[in-house]
């Protein structure tokens, strides 16, 4: 990685982390008693921060597409749950735009296929985002049909919106520029990601003109079936299954608040420490089920604190510890695990990644069985 790329990545990670901190703070403010003007201000700040995070995520995904690394290994995905998530993601945003979103699934309720769940959702995100942005009012329809056959699972997706959405032309650059001019950068990036994901998965895209002033973006995908012995992967919102008391260790106050907000979202309780020394002293009490440990901290860093905790006798010394770090390269992760940590979660944290790490650390037997 060149120095400009390194600096760009670090700036993007820092901006993302600060935006997540802003969202954590606005979430706290939203739970307070505010005047109507105060509530409107908090809602506007939240909307702006969420929009910036979506743009940064789309930009990072596009960069990964242009400069691909190892591809995601397809996992079992329940297709109906994909549409449930699409509806949860887009229904509030459509309502804010004055648009009614109608989402449907046709097929066996438990129909599943081997797929990259995130990329599937990106396809719908792109087409729905453009349709909602261009609609202004009225309705946008999104549907997915699944058919099991001898050669796998055939998916037929459809998004119906205003005329000239759901593009099938090959002049990608001109189309993206047009969407950017009409609907903004976030929608343009989403549309480009949808097209990229569809091409990557070998999908076929075409546009159907409907009666009236609407078009349907229709696509077809062919996916492998799930082997009978493979358990179906649960979605990212699956409950952790138990309440836990967690120690959050980070020298940055915003980072601590973000981590504690995520922990509370999973119905766990938490306390905080500002550096490794405080973490070791807190751990001695034995009241924590798990520790989220930042790596770079003054006085005592996360690796040294982990080694000190592991030296404590009995159950306290075996408390699960998860590293929170922006440096999650394989070599770094191996060093953290060698120091006695149970897992690594990369900053800026994604809720589903943190939940998976918590589940694995708090239920090692189940994690081992899954592995």
List the structure tokens of 271: 């306390």
Q: Which residue, among 308, 245, 242, has the nearest Cα to 271 in the 3D structure?
A: 245
Q: Are 92 and 167 in contact (CB under 8 A)?
A: no
Q: What is the dihedral of CA 126, 131, 136, 142, to 10 degrees?
A: -110
List the structure tokens of 46: 């939240």
DSSP state of 108: -
Q: Are 242 and 128 in contact (CB under 8 A)?
A: no
Residue 325 pLDDT > 80: yes
Q: Looking at residue 93, what is its pLDDT?
A: 85
The dihedrals phi and psi of 150, each to the nearest 5 degrees, come to: -65, -25
Tell me how far apart the alpha carbons of residues 230 and 280 are, in angstroms, rounded to a whole number.
Answer: 41
Return the higher-pLDDT residue of 150 and 155.
155
Percent of the chain at pLDDT > 90 equals 26
Distances (CA, A) of 23 to 115, 188, 203, 229: 31, 24, 36, 41
Reported as half-sphere exposure (CB side, CA atoms, 13 A), residue 312 has a value of: 18
| pTM of the shown model | 0.52
356: CB partners within 8 A, 6+ apart: none
Residue 137 pLDDT > 80: no
Percent of the chain at pLDDT > 70 equals 82
Tell me how far apart the alpha carbons of residues 203 and 221 are, in angstroms, rounded to a whole number.
Answer: 5
Residue 165 pLDDT > 80: no
- Region 290-315: what's the mean pLDDT? 92
Q: Looking at residue 72, what is its pLDDT?
A: 53
């Amino acid at each position: 990685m060149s120095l400009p790329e390194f600096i760009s990545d670090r700036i993007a990670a820092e901006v993302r982390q600060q935006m997540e901190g802003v969202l954590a703070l606005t979430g706290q403010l939203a739970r307070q008693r505010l005047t109507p003007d105060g509530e409107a201000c908090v809602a506007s700040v939240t909307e702006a921060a969420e929009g910036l995070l979506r743009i940064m995520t789309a930009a990072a995904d596009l960069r990964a597409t242009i400069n691909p690394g190892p591809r995601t290994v397809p996992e079992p995905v329940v297709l109906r749950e994909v549409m449930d998530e699409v509806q949860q993601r887009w229904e509030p945003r459509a309502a804010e735009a004055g648009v009614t979103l109608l989402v449907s699934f046709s097929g066996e309720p438990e129909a599943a296929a081997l797929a990259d769940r995130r990329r599937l959702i990106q396809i719908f995100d792109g087409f729905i985002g453009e349709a909602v942005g261009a609609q202004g009012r009225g309705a946008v329809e999104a549907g997915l049909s699944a058919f099991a056959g001898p050669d796998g699972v055939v998916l037929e997706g459809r998004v119906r919106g205003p005329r000239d959405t759901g593009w099938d032309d090959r002049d990608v650059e001109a189309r993206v520029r047009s969407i950017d001019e009409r609907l903004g950068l976030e929608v343009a990036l989403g549309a480009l990601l949808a097209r990229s994901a569809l091409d990557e998965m070998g999908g076929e895209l075409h546009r159907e003109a409907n009666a009236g002033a609407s078009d349907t973006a229709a696509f077809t995908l062919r996916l492998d079936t799930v082997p009978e012995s493979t358990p179906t992967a649960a979605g990212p919102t699956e409950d952790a299954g138990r309440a836990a008391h967690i120690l959050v260790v980070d020298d940055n106050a915003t980072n601590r608040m973000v981590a504690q907000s995520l922990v509370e979202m999973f119905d766990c309780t938490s306390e905080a420490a500002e550096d490794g020394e405080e973490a070791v002293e807190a751990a001695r009490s034995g009241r924590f089920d798990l520790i989220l440990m930042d790596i770079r901290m003054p006085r005592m860093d996360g690796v040294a604190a982990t080694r000190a905790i592991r030296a404590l006798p009995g159950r306290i010394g075996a408390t699960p510890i998860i590293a929170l770090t922006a440096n999650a390269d394989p070599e770094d992760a191996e060093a953290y695990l060698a120091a006695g940590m149970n897992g690594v979660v990369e900053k800026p944290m994604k809720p589903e990644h943190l939940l998976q790490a918590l589940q694995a650390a708090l239920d090692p037997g189940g994690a081992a069985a899954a592995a």
